[in-house]
A and B are shown apart, each in its own frame.
Chain A
Amino acid sequence: MVEFETALLVIAGAFVVFAIVSLYRVFAGPTPFDRIIAVNVVGTNTVIAISLVAGAFDQSVFLDVALVYALLNFLLSIAFSKFTVERGGVL
């Protein structure tokens, strides 16, 4: 049982590492759209890491945190893509 929780925590750590790797594109992206796509990927990896920690420790409260985080992540992308076009036509 201990090995199982350790495996889930290691995979959550792998997702954190992937988020840090794609944080390179946030700093180095040539256009703002590169940056916002990379921020979206970082948020998705954060949601997965929170959910995997919830599964490893059997703490279902963390799933609520992950749901709210995913909603805010989606809202960020939609708001950005709506406010960068001139007359607000995307979606």
Chain B
Amino acid sequence: MTPTEWAIVALAALGAFFGGVAAIGIVRLPDVYTRAHAASKSDTLGAVLALAAVALAIQTNLSTVKAVFLLLFMFLTNPTAAHAIARAAADQGIQPWTVEDGEGDR
């Protein structure tokens, strides 16, 4: 493989790592707010890295522009959606998880 292809595979693998971190956080964290934290931060970083890999891998010019637009769109909308959902949960009166709620409260 050429060095460009190594860079593409490395970026995509790093994105897959952060996607795995987001999946583990979604399943294991105890609260809706902590789950929103995992979903917004880790999954956004994984998406941006993987889409940067795609933007490097695509050959033609217009498709690279499309991949960069998709990257910017993900980078803007994913934390916005998580913020809106967390704010709706706070408006519905869901209390944040604290240590007093117990260790095994999942």
Contacts and interface: CB of A to CB of B under 8 A. Distances in A.
B32 A45 contact: no
Of residues B16, B26, B51, B87, which shows the largest number of chain A Cβ atoms within 10 Å of its Cβ? B26
Contacts, number: 172
Interface residues of A, number: 51
Interface in B62-101: 62-63, 66-67, 69-70, 73-74, 77-78, 80-82, 84-89, 91-92, 94
10 closest Cβ pairs, A-B complex: A60-B63, A77-B81, A55-B57, A81-B88, A81-B84, A18-B23, A55-B54, A33-B89, A74-B77, A22-B26
Interface of B: 1, 5, 8-9, 12-13, 15-16, 19-20, 22-24, 26-27, 32, 35-36, 39, 43, 46-47, 50-51, 53-54, 57-60, 62-63, 66-67, 69-70, 73-74, 77-78, 80-82, 84-89, 91-92, 94
